[in-house]
Structure 1
């Protein structure tokens, strides 16, 4: 079984490999090959990343315009055509936007063809609101503004000064959920279809991008998804209990893909 692994903005394949090492080491399913790939564009480090990991750093775009996201999706299609096929995609943050955009575009353009993956694992994930808008989903200007504000909040909470002065206390959660329940946020975006493959959604209760992760979960068929909220921020905590929970969910996705 082959798993394609897509990292977050301003990190790298090596960073994502390190971030998921505890999870992968505890898998009971054998014969799983994880392919960690660098994004197509070399860039600066994401806030706080250069404290722990050496360059180079990569990303899929600098500004998340519709054109930039579609270009990244085309790059991913070409990569899969050359290096694939893959059974599962596992992604973090910006990598999840690329993966979910590919799956949604496939659902729109080729609904009668097998999807590019049999299962998806999204960690601190999100979707592209511009892609959703182009696909016919109802995306309000308020939602677009809220999404941009949550990205700004993540940048501030994850930077070096916040890490040095506040440590784990720097994560303040998503104030842009504005008192809405998780269920309300998951159901916010209504459109003509959903991602049908089994999906796993892992997100942090204190992540300023929590709302974006919940919205992505809502774009996936409810009967085929599993969700887990840890108590951290925009990260993959390495505590034993969190690792065990995420590992269990990853195994669930891998079993579907076998």
Structure 2
């Protein structure tokens, strides 16, 4: 089995490999080849990442526009054509944004062709709202507000100074916007003309400022083919035994579901 691995913005394939080592240790009995690709655009470090990892750092997108997203999709499509096929994709943060955009654009534009990968594991990431609106999804004003506020909150809570002052306590999520809002209510903030149809796993943390974005991504995927797991932390992959085993089991499930019909 081959798994394409898409890292977060301002990190790298090597960093992503380190970040996932704890749960991948529980997959050692599986015949899985992980492809740790670097994004095509050199960039500065993600907030706080330089406290733990040195350069180089990369991004999958040059800018924040629909045109830039489509350029990233073209790059990913060419990479998969050259280096694939892949049974699944494992993604974190910006990687989720790219992978979900690729699936949505493919499903809208070339639905008769096989998808870029057969199963998807999304960790601490959400969809591109630019792509959703382009494809006819209705994104509510509240979802747009949460997206803007959460990006600013992530920069603040992930910053190196916050790490040094507060450690894990820096993760406070978006309590002012998310208090009392259920997963079901968040998922209803985006109306779907269609949904991502392959098996998906959604791993997000209730203390992550981008929590709502992860829930929004879950909501645009087929509810009969998805699994959700709240790891309880921030914008990170906790290394506790329970979290690691749960993510590993979810990956086994996704790959098995995705490859069941070939």
TM over 0.5: yes
Structure 2 unaligned blocks of 5 or more: none
Contact 2:119/2:257 (<8 A) preserved = yes
Q: CA deviation at 1:80?
A: 0.4
Matches within 5 A, 1:84-233: 84-175=84-175, 176-177=177-178, 179-233=180-234
- Quote the residue 2:61 is aligned against: 61
Matches within 5 A, 1:33-48: 33-48=33-48
Contact 1:6/1:13 (<8 A) preserved = yes
**Residues 205, 178 of structure 1: alpha-carbon distance in 2 compared, 3 angstrom cutoff:** closer
Q: CA deviation at 1:16?
A: 0.4
Rounded to whole Å, the distance in 2 between the matches of 1:180 and 1:244 is 28
Structure 1 unaligned blocks of 5 or more: none
SS at match of 1:115: coil
- Quote the residue 1:6 is aligned against: 6
SS at match of 1:26: helix
Rounded to whole Å, the distance in 1 between the matches of 2:171 and 2:14 is 24
Rounded to whole Å, the distance in 2 between the matches of 1:58 and 1:179 is 36
- Quote the residue 1:72 is aligned against: 72
Deviates more, 1:66-75 or 1:225-234: 66-75
- Quote the residue 1:250 is aligned against: 251
Q: CA deviation at 1:178?
A: 5.2
Q: CA deviation at 1:136?
A: 0.4
Q: CA deviation at 1:28?
A: 5.5
Task: Please list the CA deviations of residues 148-180 of structure 1 after superposition, one character each: whole Å capped at 9, or x if unmatched.
Answer: 111110000000110011111100012333532
Contact 2:143/2:189 (<8 A) preserved = no
Contact 1:40/1:59 (<8 A) preserved = yes
Q: CA deviation at 1:141?
A: 4.3
Normalising by structure 2, we get a TM-score of 0.95
Q: CA deviation at 1:188?
A: 1.7
**Residues 29, 117 of structure 1: alpha-carbon distance in 2 compared, 3 angstrom cutoff:** farther
Coordinate RMSD, CA, aligned: 1.3
SS at match of 2:42: strand
Q: CA deviation at 1:113?
A: 2.1
Q: What number of residue pairs does the alignment pair up?
A: 258
Rounded to whole Å, the distance in 1 between the matches of 2:206 and 2:145 is 21
Rounded to whole Å, the distance in 1 between the matches of 2:83 and 2:31 is 18
SS at match of 2:89: strand
